[in-house]
Amino acid sequence: MTERGEWALTIAKEAGEFTLGYFDDPGLRVDRKKDGTPVTLADRGAEELLRRRIAERFPDDAILGEEMPDRAGSSGYKWILDPIDGTKSFIHGVPLYSTLVGIEKDGKPFAGVIAIPALGKGIYAETGEGAYEWDKDGATRPARVSRTARLEDALFLTSEVKTFTETGRIELYREMENRCRLARTWGDAYGYYMTATGRADLMIDPELSPWDAGPLSTILAEAGGVFADWSGRETIYGGDGLACNRLLFDRVVEMTKEYKK
């Protein structure tokens, strides 16, 4: 990995470790942002840590994060940060939240990390170097998407069924639930981790911000799959997202593009 790729992995693990100091604390204060989504001291503190560590090594790089204003850069590199993806899981003591670090170079995917601190595992990738998952015992192994070729055999994941209703897309959820072998809400970035490692076959979100998707293009591509918006464009800026293996991709996009806004 390059210096930036190595640093992304290092600081994602550090920030994830920081969040554990607040995890499963029944007294944790939860505030609400303007959009009604929850935020905690752990979210803000972890992003501050990530930004500080990036500035130490790469002061000319741009930064886009969920909790703080954008920082301009001049190097051509941009870091995309979500200190706690799955804050709702985090505040309820569910260990399926993640710390996300993505990097773009000249507007294209370059590197990405999904760290799952409460489980001691995660996945990282850099363009052209493959995707690798690590376990709590320190073991690292290549990550690959599944070879499932039919929706009827697929495990379909999403973050929250309610979001399909709120965005007027509940019919798509029902269609996926009916067509796929199994549907579960093991979602947020954990669902994309499941898909990139072949444990699940398909992950779909009706709403997705760039920081929710920062590392996903690199990780899914290097694991042999694809991350795209609902029109099939391989972008993190489409406002929605899907991930799957290449065998399922055309069929899934045929369904999602009908509901693209």
Q: Which residues pair with 116 in a beta bridge?
A: 121
**End-of-domain residue from the set 142, 172, 194:** 142
Torsion (CA) 59, 212, 253, 127 in degrees, nearest 10: 30
Examine the domain organization and report whether 47 and 83 are in the same domain.
yes
176-201 pLDDT tens trace:
999 999 999 999 999 999 999 999 99
10-69 pLDDT tens trace:
999 999 999 999 999 988 899 988 777 888 899 999 999 999 999 999 999 999 998 999
Examine the domain organization and report whether 32 and 135 are in the same domain.
yes
213-247 pLDDT tens trace:
999 999 999 999 999 999 999 999 999 999 999 99
Cβ–Cβ under 8 Å, residues 122 and 112 = no
Helix, coil or strand: residue 244:
strand
**End-of-domain residue from the set 125, 142, 159:** 142
Q: Per-residue confidence at 261, pLDDT binned at 50, 70, 90? A: confident
Q: What is the mean pLDDT of the chain?
A: 96
Examine the domain organization and report whether 138 and 155 are in the same domain.
no
Examine the domain organization and report whether 186 and 132 are in the same domain.
no
DSSP structure class, residue 71: B
Q: How many domains does the chain have?
A: 2
Q: Per-residue confidence at 100, pLDDT binned at 50, 70, 90? A: very high
**End-of-domain residue from the set 142, 160, 188:** 142
Query: Which two tokens mark 94?
Result: 């569910």
Torsion (CA) 31, 32, 33, 35 in degrees, nearest 10: 170
Examine the domain organization and report whether 133 and 238 are in the same domain.
no
- Across the chain, the runs of DSSP E, i.e. the strands, are 31-32, 38-39, 62-65, 77-85, 98-105, 108-116, 121-126, 130-134, 140-142, 155-157, 182-184, 202-205, 225-228, 241-245
